[in-house]
Amino acid sequence: MTAVPERRSFLILLGLVAAVAAALAWWVVASRRATQEIASSAPGEMTQAQLTKALSDAGIDPAQRVAIEGLVRQTLIDHPEILSEAAQALEARESASRLAPLRGALETPFPGAVLGNPQGKQTLVEFTDFACTFCRASVAEVEALVAANPDLRVVVRELPIISEQSLPAARMGLAAAAQGKYAAFHKAMFSGESPSPASIAAAAAKAGLDMTAARAFAARPDTTTELQRNLALARQLGISGTPAWVVGDQLLSGAVGRDRLQEALTAGKAKGA
């Protein structure tokens, strides 16, 4: 009748391995985010006395505990990739938990600020700034994704944080969206010079905007409200730069490239996101 105690010890061993890996993974993630507040407090931990009592209650004496800890240590030494995998899993879980309550707001576009298929069933959210060099480089990547995924809707969220001219460019982008010409203005801005009064006016003219209506719309309070909403969403998600992307329960930062975005889209589709 030794099967039950052995099985119980084995399960506890697995639990200890998981606990150690999770704790180390948390440390890895925390060190990567040294300048960010990723949580109000560290994850709950057992005290030494509580751990000792739990092991004792499970029938594991100090010698067995030393052996188990040695096994855990050696396992991590032999397979250090466990730490990276655990850290990635923890980071993905944190991203998913932050995204879940915001997903509706994130995927609801400012009217007209959409690329690709406006009725598409799969959504890619992009936070962008017309003054962002990496966003400019990502335009072709997004166009390729749209061509390869006919059911893709790209919700663009203007995040004017880089230069003084980012804000007026973003306002004009929303004005273009109101006239149903967002895609044309978006492409014209990123194919022209860096944002300035002249380049913004040139992109608006190239997109065929009614300039009188566009300037009036850009100055409206609801335009300001939309940009403030985007900034608030970015803060809640820990986004501090552009481009940033949301696909289902995944948050990606930087010019990650078409392949990584397609991978996220494929994973999201498999989950029904």
CATH class of 103-271: alpha beta
Angle at 211 between CA 210 and CA 213, to 5 degrees: 70
* Model pLDDT, residue 84: 65
| Lookup: tokens for 180 | 């149903």
**2-6, 86-90, 147-151, 160-164: which range is least confident on average?**
2-6
Q: What's the pLDDT tens digit per position in 88-109?
A: 565 666 666 777 888 999 999 9
**Mean pLDDT of all residues in 194-214:** 98
Which pTM was predicted?
Answer: 0.68
Percentage of residues of the chain with pLDDT beyond 70 = 74
Which value, to the nearest 10 degrees, does the dihedral of the CA atoms of residues 185, 190, 194, 195 take? 30
Mean pLDDT of the chain: 82
User: In the chain, what are the helix, strand and coil shares in percent, each to the nearest 5?
Assistant: 65, 10, 30
* Domain layout of the chain by residue ranges: 3-32+42-79, 103-271
The answer for residues whose C-beta is within 8 angstroms of residue 115's C-beta and 6 or more apart is 142, 146, 154, 156, 182, 183, 186
Summarize the confidence of residues 127-137 as an average pLDDT: 97
Res 33: pLDDT: 43
User: What pLDDT score does 223 carry?
Assistant: 97
More confident residue, 4 or 158: 158
pLDDT at 82 over 90: no
pLDDT digits 0-9 by tens, 54-74: 767 767 777 777 777 777 777
How many CA within 13 A on the CB side of residue 5?
9
